[in-house]
């Protein structure tokens, strides 16, 4: 008799989010299979195949015992049967007794309960673990996006200083991706389907043995799947069509990439020479085994590293998009690893939600922004960062030459050499060029004022930060409805 269940999850044993153990913990893997089989028995009773006096032998305690059949127990019998579902069937038959034993697994094929059960696992794991964690992350993310909507930051393209933005704008670009992919996950989770269609998917036993005729307008498949809460696939073989689950797992992959983007950005912004972002550092934490001064971005690195793992796990999903004829066994062992994608995603979310001991504040909320470092880094390029608006202003004021070339090859080098603002460098060049001086004089005063205050050239960055935060709030409300 098994006294303690084995609840390890697929994937690396180092990463075992407890939230997913009720669904993907090893000894729970047949729970949803059992749910489908029990729904099948109930349907057989409803249509008159199982007489009432026989079906009444299934008591609540019987149901509980069937649902509790562990994978470890199945494994022991499978050493004899060399078939997992027939092993489960034997265990279930022993539980229900001789009278009902003959109805177990009628008129199913293995992958009716296996594929449908797998879909139920993913739906429940998403609804009860991933989705609540994601909602908390999005809510916190929206808050810090608003908080730093006006904090100046130098924008970067190709790793080089570009135009001024705000920290909130940068965060909003990631928040927008998180919410977009969450909406896709939600939609694809609602599109997950099951099957009760038999050995080749053509309902042979149901049609040929008279079960179909007993069901009336609603098919046997519809009746069974309605009890477990999913709709049937339009058509299936012995296995479900791969697209519904494939798209759902792809949306999980894309969300993982969004979290990886946060990790990538933050670990670079934590670089010693940048220092704009900081990870919280616990009182007893160690940054390096030898360099005691170190504060490594381990959590941000794990966010990105976990995305890499998930990307490679998704290759297994792609490898199972084809199967020989109505089904072969190649994809069976591969599909057992699919939950690793959700395990990895939950691990990323848990990283951001991990609370400190003293204040119970989530990691994401404790992430720090260093305004002084943001300002210092911005000022490194502040004198030349407005090359874009100055060259455009020249062209709009009537400059006939190549304004971009003038700024790039004349004004920027002069500004850098003398440590003066770019607009001052342009005005110096214009003193020896009457035509250019006329053009510079024609630039409106309010524009020139802007050119002397590059910190104001942030465009709609604060506005966009607030818009995306509001979009996130709206999605949170929708998801909670």
The rounded radius of gyration (Å) of the Cα atoms in the chain is 31
Q: What pLDDT score does 306 carry?
A: 97
Q: What pLDDT score does 167 carry?
A: 98
Q: Is the CB of residue 205 less than 8 Å from the CB of residue 168? A: no
3-class SS of residue 232: strand
Q: What pLDDT score does 357 carry?
A: 87
Q: What pLDDT score does 283 carry?
A: 76
Closest CA to 353 of 43, 175, 192, 130: 130
Beta bridge partners of 156: 161
Per domain, the residue ranges of the chain are: 386-456
Length of the chain: 481
User: Model pTM?
Assistant: 0.95
Here the tokens at position 81 are 């049967």
Q: What pLDDT score does 191 carry?
A: 98
Q: What are the pLDDT digits (tens) for 342-372?
A: 999 999 999 999 999 889 999 999 999 999 9
Closest CA to 122 of 342, 435, 408: 342
Q: What pLDDT score does 240 carry?
A: 97
Here the tokens at position 403 are 């304004």
Q: What are the pLDDT digits (tens) for 233-252?
A: 999 999 999 999 999 999 99
Q: What pLDDT score does 281 carry?
A: 77
* Number of C-beta neighbours around residue 382 at 10 A: 20
What are the Cα distances from residue 59, in Å, to 32, 104, 232, 464?
18, 15, 28, 58
Four-CA torsion 155, 156, 161, 166, nearest 10 degrees: 10
Residues of the chain with pLDDT under 70: 1-3
- Burial label, 375 (beta-carbon count in 10 A; 0-12, 13-18, 19+): middle
């Amino acid at each position: 008799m098994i006294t303690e269940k084995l609840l390890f999850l697929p994937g690396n044993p180092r990463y075992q989010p407890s939230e997913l153990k009720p669904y993907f913990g090893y000894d729970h893997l047949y729970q949803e299979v059992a749910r489908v089989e029990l729904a099948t028995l109930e349907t057989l009773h409803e249509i008159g195949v199982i007489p009432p006096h026989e079906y009444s032998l299934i008591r609540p305690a019987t149901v509980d015992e069937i649902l509790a059949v562990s994978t470890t127990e199945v494994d022991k019998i499978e050493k004899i049967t060399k078939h997992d579902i027939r092993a489960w069937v034997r265990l279930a038959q022993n539980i229900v007794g001789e009278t009902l034993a003959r109805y177990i697994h009628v008129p199913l094929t293995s992958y009716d309960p296996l594929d449908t059960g797998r879909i139920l696992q993913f739906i429940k794991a998403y609804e009860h673990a991933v989705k609540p964690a994601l909602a908390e992350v999005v809510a916190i993310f929206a808050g810090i996006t608003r908080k730093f909507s006006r904090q100046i930051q130098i924008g970067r393209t190709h790793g080089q200083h570009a135009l001024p933005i705000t920290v909130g704008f940068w965060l909003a670009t990631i928040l927008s991706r998180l919410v977009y992919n969450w909406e896709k996950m939600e939609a694809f989770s609602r599109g997950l389907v099951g099957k009760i269609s038999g050995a080749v998917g053509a309902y042979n036993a149901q049609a040929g043995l008279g079960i179909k005729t007993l069901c009336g307008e609603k098919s046997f498949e519809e009746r069974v799947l309605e009890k477990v809460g999913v709709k049937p696939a339009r058509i299936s073989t012995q296995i479900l069509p791969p697209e519904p689950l494939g798209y759902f797992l792809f949306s999980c992959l894309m969300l993982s990439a969004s979290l990886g983007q946060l990790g990538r950005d933050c670990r670079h912004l934590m670089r010693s020479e940048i220092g704009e972002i900081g990870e919280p550092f616990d009182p007893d934490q160690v940054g390096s085994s030898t360099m005691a001064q170190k504060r490594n971005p381990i959590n941000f690195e794990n966010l990105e590293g976990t995305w890499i793992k998930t990307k490679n796990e998704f290759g297994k999903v792609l490898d199972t998009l084809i199967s020989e004829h109505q089904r072969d066994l190649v994809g069976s062992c591969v599909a057992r690893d699919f939950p690793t994608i959700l395990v990895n995603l939950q691990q990323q979310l848990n990283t951001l939600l991990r609370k400190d001991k003293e204040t119970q504040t989530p990691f994401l909320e404790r992430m720090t922004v260093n305004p002084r470092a943001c300002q210092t880094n911005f000022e490194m390029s502040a004198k030349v960062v407005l090359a874009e608006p100055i060259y455009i202003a020249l062209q709009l004021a009537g400059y006939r030459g190549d304004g971009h070339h003038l700024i790039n090859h004349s004004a920027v080098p002069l500004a850098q050499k003398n440590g003066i603002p770019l607009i001052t460098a342009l005005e110096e060049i214009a003193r020896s060029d009457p035509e250019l001086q006329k053009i510079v004089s024609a630039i409106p005063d309010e524009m020139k004022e802007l050119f002397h205050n590059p910190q104001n050239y942030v465009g709609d960055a604060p506005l966009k930060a607030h818009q995306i935060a509001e979009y996130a709030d709206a999605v949170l409300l929708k998801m909670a409805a």
